[in-house]
Structure 1
Amino acid sequence: MSDIGEIRMQVMWNRLISVVEEQALTLLRTAFSTSVRESGDLSAGVFDTRGQMLAQAVTGTPGHVNTMAEAVLQFMREIPRENMFEGDTYVTNDPWQGTGHLHDITMVSPSFLDGELVAFFACTAHVVDVGGRGFGADGKSVYEEGLQIPIMKFAEKGKVNLDLVKILRCNVREPNQVVGDFYSLAACNDVGHRRLVDMMTEIGLTSLDGLGEFIFSRTRAAMLERIQALPKGSWSNELVTDGYDEPVKLVATVSARDDHVHVDFSGSAPMSRWGINVPIIYSKAYACFALKCVVAPDIPNNAASLDFFTVSSPTNIVNAVRPAPVALRHVIGHMVPDLVLGAMAKALPGKILAEGAAALWNIHISARPVDGAAGRRAEVLMFNSGGMGARPGLDGLSATAFPSGVHTMPIEATEHTGPIVIWRKELRPDSGGDGEFRGGLGQVLEIAATDGHEFDFSAMFDRVGHPAKGRLGGKDGAPGVVRLDDGTRMRPKGWQHVPAGRRLVLELPGGGGYGDPSKRDPAARAHDNSKGYVSETQS
């Protein structure tokens, strides 16, 4: 290919990325659920006619993007080409064919140009409710966790399946929000389609095959170079999490070969009877994310880069099979990167960050008037983050969602959705593990219902009994705490009640420290004290 041809292809690649960025922004701007529009709990991408991911939007979580990369192939298997038409949109929330639990809705739309199929657009978002028990770990099977939507058509030739919409409205607690999000997802793909057609028409393309080959060939060459530069061998790591009612052990063995890296989860705990199980599609998504952070963080994430990573596991908690309950699959799934990175730290000593809070401290609040009095009922979902582990050469980031990457929800947006008040939201002093580089701080939240209201909440927390470990001599981060303002301890998982007049206090875990604490720069310690990150007794 000539230099001019290379430049032209690069320009088209950049243009394609701008198409999926606008696709994702459409969802952000039109979504009804705060988890989408405020926190960016979504993904968007464009795929070629074989179902291979060409490009993804920067906005999005690894758990959505990397599962979506496989989900499109599932859609193509279920809906044959002869049943695909212009104006179609397909949908599912099947945990094993989508993103791992029922609350995530995945939509896929074929894109046609002059009657010919040229691409697929896909997007995923977390909706506030799917019926059943609600968002929590208390279900004993997936059948209790909400409405299951098999791969089917949300719209055919531009006409929405109103029967599906009616079923949705009859099965969820917030029908307007949920149905609104379905239409937002469909609009997201439609915008991507229209922008792609504009691009192809302007440039004079009739197919994305040439551009796809350009993207994939360069990605493969760059990835192979990085894989071959890794030390060769196998390294194992174990990590213990809180689980639901007993600790859960996770085990990963990472093997680096000449042309790929493999992760095996043999030895991990068996499936749980509670909803903390993880379908393998989600475990693989976060294992691949962790590997890519180490091997090739600067190489685009697409089908070619993901092909270099493989994952295997017997049936266990990270490879749960139907009908296991999986509503909180993210709690264990978000631990997978720390698990995999711990193995990689043995292969690449001195180059891997310490463990962090990992799992989001999501909380689903169901608020209502006391004793049936007049007032407002609402379902409120909040995403909160603890501290990241310290990095080689840098302190950990505080109150930051790693590995999910979702944004923090503004207090004002959260309070607007229901009768609750966030009385306190601040960094938690002394929560970051000490070290040459300090772990990131967790945060403290204090939540109450407004006058005349009470609420139940679904706890989805971890690192309460098993804090984030430091690395290379760094100290562990502080464990999380769940309590009422009168000191009553609450469980880290499961539905619980907060009476009117009481406040729920969440003390989020901190990240582990990195390196010998005696080597910390005195100026850095003085800065920690001046900012209140540590108390005088901890300095």
Structure 2
Amino acid sequence: MSQDHSKVAYQVMWNRLISVVEEQAQALVRTAFSTSVREAGDLSAGVYDTHGNMLAQAVTGTPGHVNAMADAVAHFIRRIGRQNMFEGDVYITNDPWEGTGHLHDITMVTPSFHNGTLVGFFACTAHIVDIGGRGFGADAQSVYEEGLYIPIMKFADRGEVDETLVRIIRGNVREPDQLIGDIYALATCNEIGHRRLIDMMEEFELDHLDGIAAFILENSRRATIEAIAALPQTSASGEMTMDGFDVPITLKVKVSVENDRIVTDFTGTSGLDKKGINCPLVYTKAYACYALKVAIAPEIPNNAASLAPFEITAPENSIVNALHPAPVALRHIVGHFVPDAVYDAFDKIVPGLVPAEGAGCLCNFQVSLRPRSDAPAPADARRSEVLTFNSGGSGARPEHDGMNATAFPSGVMTMPIEATEHAGPVIIWRKELRPDSGGAGKTRGGLGQYMEVGAQEGHEFDIQAMFDRSQHPARGRRGGSSGAPTTIAQDDGSAMRVKGKQFVPHGRKVVMAFPGGAGYGNPAERPKDLVKRDLARGYISEETARTDYGLSPEDIAAVQSAVARGEQI
């Protein structure tokens, strides 16, 4: 049958593909066992042509997965070989260097056949709570300590699941039912994508995807190159410092706009860390590409062609190009700061476009709960692994305030208290916005949050802290003030580290204050009605309103009176 279609028809197909992969992602959300997927949305989904080029990605998901997964399918094709791919196959890996950056991300790929012919691939990735080893944290000194490694291989061969692989996985992890459930959910979501693709192909009488693939890739490439060509053709350098594990880490970057491409070079960045916060290049590329693309071409859908003009380089065994066997479990801590470093340079090329620095990395922690060891525990005390996803404030934007307790750049959602407490014998005693944590500016930085966590009666726990911004808070841009730093301690005042596994005895709680985003522009230029609104909402204190924004005692008193009367400001 004819495969020629009009541009309008191809545009309709393109939109359909985007809806197909969104349904694929939502199927994963609905069927996954882990709260990291169901509640936080730490996942990705996409459809690819027969060469492994990503054609469309789901809106649901995180850039670190999707953009990294853009390269992963090509690795599957190379490792397995098209001649060894059959209907009913499902492939799997958690290889940090051929997947999405650490062992805790499982990527699954399913070949899609139509009338006996390979027409494309569906791929998805999800963050799983446990993969064995030391557990999810920064304490390992090599990837071998971080958990079970699954090379690129077949999970299902022509519809038959490899039960030996399933038994190996179950025997090496702390939450086997949860992990195997997540793996089947990943396979299911790819199957949903495949079925919807075949429905589309039959509707449009397609034998293959060559025509629509060429249309998507060529139009995306051209639109992205046009956006790059409109920029000043120049270079600029930027850098930022983050806490690191034991010693600070410096990210240095040079961004060069060169006709039809943007080259981002991380030469000068710190070398490998001894602990598991190193970042493979695939993850660095994902967030460097994302940062630039959302700045200059946010309306162009993500696919292989719209990402190709962004070239990322970094010296081998720098902390942003960690080679095997470097420990990489918490690679997101460094990876999530890549956009801030890139924006420090890009703001010098195109002023007034990118935001101030924000919290950067997610404010995650994992608690390993168990019956108390200092005294007899209740009969119903149990072991459990509970991972929570939390966020500080995002940086202020040139025309808008930063978002409160919202993850940028990852886009991962904060988990509800109810879902967290349902996952194990953990209690979230406090979770609220942190006043005065957003940096002052013409536009204000987003607020961080307070959290207080403990265990149910009869339990003790280890907490894996995965924080940063303790010694190096978010920096303001163009006159804006810095955001508030991270703090963590036990409720009796005992100091704690922002990274690493730490014991919390029975009856104790951990009190955390997550960082705020930085401000943008001169605080004196902030409209007074917005200052009054922030004061009324409790985002800022009277002292901040007075000292940082110059609000008069009379205006402060008027706001207090209006709040007391229940009036909106």
Offset of residue 521 of structure 1: 1.0
Query: Match for residue 468 of structure 2?
Result: 462
Residue 265 of structure 2 corresponds to which residue in structure 1?
264
* 2:99 corresponds to 1:98: yes
Select which of 494, 505, 515 maps to 2:500. Answer: 494
Counterparts of 1:51-62 in structure 2, within 5 Å, are: 51-62=52-63
Q: Which amino acid aligns with 1:357?
A: A
Alignment of 1:357-506 (within 5 A): 357-371=359-373, 373=377, 374=379, 375-506=381-512
Q: Secondary structure at the match of 2:164?
A: helix
- The AA in structure 1 aligned to 2:471 is G
Cα distance in 2 for residues equivalent to 1:397 and 1:449: 30
Matching of residue 521 in structure 1 with residue 498 in structure 2: no
Cα deviation for residue 377 of structure 1 reads 1.3
Q: How does 1:250-329 map to 2 (within 5 A)?
A: 250-315=251-316, 316-329=318-331
Distance 1:488 1:465 in 2: 18
Aligned equivalents of 1:451 and 1:131: distance in 2? 26
Asked if 1:188 is matched to 2:194, the reply is no
Q: Which amino acid aligns with 2:466?
A: M
Find the aligned partners of 1:6 and 1:313 in 2 and give their Cα distance. 39
**Residue 118 (structure 1) aligns with:** 119
**Residue of structure 2 in register with 1:79 after alignment:** 80
Q: Following TM superposition, by how much is the alpha carbon of 1:528 offset from its aligned partner in structure 2, in angstroms?
A: 0.9
Structure 2 residue identity aligned to 1:467: P
Q: CA RMSD in A?
A: 1.0
Report Cα offsets for 1:114-138 as digits up to 9, x if no partner. Answer: 1100010000000110000000000
The AA in structure 2 aligned to 1:79 is I
Aligned mates of 2:184, 2:371 — CA distance in 1 = 31
Identity over the aligned pairs, expressed in percent? 62
Structure 1 letter corresponding to 2:434: R
Deviation of 1:14 after TM superposition, in Å, equals 1.1
Residues 63-120 of structure 1 show CA distances to partners (whole Å, capped at 9, x for unaligned) of 0000100000111110111110000000000000000000000001100001100010
Matches within 5 A, 1:154-165: 154-165=155-166
Give the AA of the match of 2:361: A
> How far has the Cα of 1:369 moved from its partner?
1.3
- Corresponding position of 1:153: 154
Distance (Å, rounded) in 2 between the aligned partners of 1:258 and 1:7: 30
Query: Deviation digits for residues 21-40 of structure 1, max 9, x if unmatched?
Result: 11111100000000001111
How much does 1:367 deviate? 0.7
Residue 217 of structure 1 aligns with an amino acid whose one-letter code is: E
- Alignment partner, residue 217 of structure 2: 216
Cα-to-partner distance string for 1:418-463 (whole Å, 9 max, x where unaligned) = 0011111100001000011110000000111011111101000000
Alignment partner, residue 246 of structure 1:
247
The normalised TM-score by structure 1 is: 0.99
Q: Over residues 316-353 of structure 1, what are the superposed CA-to-partner deviations in whole Å (9 max), with x where a residue is unaligned?
A: 00000100000000000000011101110011112211
| 2-structure distance, mates of 1:167, 1:499 | 33
* Aligned AA (1:298): E
AA aligned to 2:32 is: A
Quote the offset at 1:4 in angstroms. 8.0
Shift of 1:222: 1.0
Q: Which amino acid aligns with 1:385?
A: S
The Cα offsets for residues 158-196 of structure 1, whole Å up to 9 and x where unpaired, read as: 100101100011100000000100100001111111111
Q: Which has the larger radius of gyration?
A: 2
Give the partner amino acid of 2:325.
P
Aligned to 1:225: 226
Displacement of 1:501: 1.1
Q: Provide the rounded CA distance (Å) in 2 between the counterparts of 1:14 and 1:518.
A: 45
Give the distance between the partners of 1:156 and 1:504, measured in 2 at CA. Answer: 47
The CA distance in 2 between the partners of 1:224 and 1:232, in whole Å, is: 13
SS of the aligned residue for 1:43 comes to strand
**How far apart in 2 are the matches of 1:310 and 1:240?**
23
* Counterpart Cα distance in 1 of 2:33 and 2:25: 14
Deviations 1:371-401 (A, max 9, x none): 2623121100000000000000111101001
Off by >6 Å, runs of 4+ in structure 1:
none
CA distance in 1, matches of 2:461, 2:168: 27
| Amino acid paired to 2:328 | V
State the alpha-carbon separation in 2 of the partners of residues 460 and 191 from structure 1: 34
Q: Distance in 1 between matches of 2:179 and 2:29?
A: 15
In the TM superposition, what is the alpha-carbon distance from 1:416 to its structure 2 partner? 0.3
Secondary structure, counterpart of 1:180 in structure 2: helix
1:338 corresponds to which of 316, 320, 340: 340
Q: Secondary structure at the match of 1:414?
A: helix
CA distance in 2 between counterparts of 1:537 and 1:166 reads 60
CA distance in 1, matches of 2:533, 2:210: 54
DSSP-derived class of the 2:121 partner:
strand
Hey, what's the Cα distance between the residues in 2 that align with 1:15 and 1:270?
44
Where 2:6 maps in the other structure, the secondary structure is: helix
Could you tell me how far 1:519 is from its partner in structure 2?
1.0
Equivalent residue for 1:107?
108
User: Pick from 329, 353, 376: which aligns with 2:355?
Assistant: 353
Structure 2's unaligned 5+ residue stretches are 546-569
Question: In the aligned structure 1, how far is the partner of 2:391 from the partner of 2:217?
Answer: 35
Amino acid at match of 1:320: A
| Structure 1 unaligned regions, length at least 5 | none
CA distance in 2, matches of 1:36, 1:158: 25
SS state at 2:436 partner? coil
2:131 is the alignment partner of 1:130: yes
Partner-residue secondary structure (3-state), 1:171: coil
SS in 1 for 2:358: coil
Secondary structure of 2:29 counterpart? helix
User: Over residues 271-323 of structure 1, what are the superposed CA-to-partner deviations in whole Å (9 max), with x where a residue is unaligned?
Assistant: 11100000000000000000101110111110110111101111200000100
Question: Offset at 1:229?
Answer: 0.3
- CA distance in 2: counterparts of 1:231 and 1:389, whole angstroms: 25
SS in 1 for 2:171: helix
Tell me the amino acid that sits aligned with residue 303 of structure 2: N
Instruction: Identify the residue that residue 549 of structure 2 maps to in structure 1.
Output: none
Q: SS of the residue aligned with 1:13?
A: helix
